[in-house]
Amino acid sequence: MNATSARKGPRFYYGWIIVFISFLAMAFHNSARFSFTIFQVPLIEEFGWSRGTLGGAYALMLGVYALSGPIAGSLFDKKGPRAIMPWGSVIIGVGLISGFFIHSLWQLFLLYGAFIGIGMSMSGFALHGALMPRWFRRKRGIATGITLSGGGVGFLLFFPLIERLIAYVGWRHTYIIFGAAILIVMVPLKLILLRDRPGDVGQEIDGGPAPESEEPPEPADRPPAEERRGVREVFAEVRRDPHFLLLAVIVFFLGLNNITIMSQLQLFFVDSKYDTATAARLLAGIGLIRMTGSWCMGWLSDAIGRPRAQALSALISAAGLTILLTLPAAGGSIPMGLAFVLVYGFGMGGMSVCSSAMSADAFGGRDFGVIMGFLEICYGVGGVIGPPAAGFFFDYAGNYNLPFTIIIVSLLTMSFVCLAVYPKVAARAEMPPPRPSPTP
């Protein structure tokens, strides 16, 4: 290869293979997490457990996920994604297979809460979101959008399949089939194809030419190993950063919305007079529209800015939840159900990709894995609070009106923060420091 061809760079950028792997991981792993909403129906029928109690198991999973996030992020920064992410898939697969043996609540809390929570922290939204800035700068929004839309594809493909498998072979064997699929597909794929950074394949970020030196230097967003800091050092630096504090609020509201709604949605559809198969198809539809929302809002965020795109996504999601609250009175209306799916799914996909891209814009360099882990604690707090609170409120009042209304208010608050507060903080951060006054 001559110097001219080297300057032009490779025809195919390996970063898109990283996007493909992350896309599939989101499809399998997010489905493993959110499919609990489908498994709740047979668990309630067989064991008679309350919705609030099952919400507690879901909250435990989110709590374990959130608390282990900074540790997983630190390992991600120090060891690289290839040393961490395959093991996340292993733990998730084993956890699902172990679901076959559930006969009591403590087993559900242990196998689902602990295994899925730890596995998701090692190969979930946070680390795959942190992986994108290593490979993309100019097209970070669309790359992140494609990656996170994998969760929507998982809903579309796996939720109806899980519901049918439960109907034909039972929920226990469905756990085995789903867990084995993750072990067979995702683990070998990550071990064979996953790479830590563009330099590992002789490229530079965004597909630039191969470096001339034999040992390519690490990119600027990944400092040398001796300069990488621990969890406490990173937290001590970012805890007073206004960007971090505002992102923490945004991510908390995101977790409160996503986890609470998705954990209760199958039950809500059944309560609203949809049969279980139709309810699963509506959940799958959210996956399809969520994928579209991730792509569209990821592209739009590159054009109009992340905060504006995030605010718009939050408003769209709030409108979708308003439609959701009308479904019980609609008596199983398919058009109303589809209207909810279209509006809410689009907004949900947009919020996830924009929050991840906003975090990458603010902290996409040094220690980003750890910072994403801390932000996932905020996401997890929303998820820990929401599902059991919604479930216990239903057990008491027989409806979800109050918790879902609170979530609508939180989305409106998120939109206000993104439009009115976050831009001012960003503008202050870009201002040069004031000049010292002249000495008289």
Q: What is the CATH number of the domain that holds 190?
A: 1.20.1250.20
Average the pLDDT over 217-243 and give the result.
Answer: 60
In the chain, the number of structural domains is: 1
Contact 40, 51 (CB under 8 A): yes
pLDDT for position 99: 87
Asked if residue 190 is part of any domain, the answer here is yes
Average the pLDDT over 267-283 and give the result.
Answer: 86
Asked if residue 437 is part of any domain, the answer here is no
Residue 408 has pLDDT above 80, yes or no: yes
Asked if residue 261 is part of any domain, the answer here is yes
366 against 407, higher pLDDT: 407
Q: Which helix (H) or strand (E) holds 13?
A: none
pLDDT tens string 335-363: 999 999 999 999 988 887 788 778 777 77
**Residue entry with tokens 């790359």:** 143
Residue 97 has pLDDT above 90, yes or no: yes
Per the rule left: phi > 0, alpha: psi between -120 and 50, beta: everything else, 398 is left
Residue 380 has pLDDT above 80, yes or no: no
Residue 87 has pLDDT above 90, yes or no: yes
Closest among 114, 115, 148 to 129, alpha carbons compared? 148
Q: Tell me the pLDDT band of 176, cut-offs 50, 70 and 90.
A: very high
Which range has the worst mean pLDDT, 73-87, 94-108, 316-330, 370-384? 370-384
Asked if residue 216 is part of any domain, the answer here is no
> Alpha-carbon distance 99 to 87, whole Å?
19
Q: How far are the Cα atoms of 119, 142, 173 from residue 302, in angstroms, in the given order?
A: 31, 8, 44
Asked if residue 310 is part of any domain, the answer here is yes
pLDDT for position 415: 93
Q: Tell me the pLDDT band of 364, cut-offs 50, 70 and 90.
A: low
SS3 for 204? strand
Q: How far are the Cα atoms of 184, 202, 208, 287, 394 from residue 15, in angstroms, in the given order?
A: 23, 12, 11, 24, 46
pLDDT for position 338: 94
pLDDT tens string 29-78: 988 888 888 888 888 888 888 877 887 887 888 788 878 878 888 888 88
- pTM equals 0.70
Q: Tell me the pLDDT band of 228, cut-offs 50, 70 and 90.
A: low
Which range has the worst mean pLDDT, 161-170, 238-247, 423-432? 423-432
Asked if residue 404 is part of any domain, the answer here is yes
Asked if residue 4 is part of any domain, the answer here is no
333 CB burial (10 A radius; 0-12, 13-18, 19+): middle
**Residue entry with tokens 């896309």:** 23
> Alpha-carbon distance 267 to 390, whole Å?
12
pLDDT for position 224: 47
- What is the DSSP secondary structure assignment for residue 110, as one 8-state letter? I
Residue 377 has pLDDT above 60, yes or no: yes
Average the pLDDT over 172-176 and give the result.
Answer: 94
Which range has the worst mean pLDDT, 14-18, 205-209, 291-295, 405-409? 205-209
pLDDT for position 93: 92
Instruction: Give the Cα-Cα-Cα angle 395, 396, 402 (nearest 5 degrees).
Output: 100
> Alpha-carbon distance 184 to 188, whole Å?
7
Neighbours of 192 (CB within 10 A): 9
Contact 213, 205 (CB under 8 A): no
Give 307-354 as a DSSP string: HHHHHHHHHHHHHHHHHHTTHHHHTS-HHHHHHHHHHHHHHHHHHHHH
Q: Which helix (H) or strand (E) holds 274?
A: none
pLDDT for position 366: 61
Asked if residue 211 is part of any domain, the answer here is no
Q: Residue 159 is encoded by which pair of tokens?
A: 């939720």
Chain length of the chain: 440
pLDDT for position 374: 78
Tell me what the pLDDT averaged over the chain comes to: 81
pLDDT for position 7: 47
pLDDT for position 58: 79
Residue 97 lies in domain: 15-198+229-430
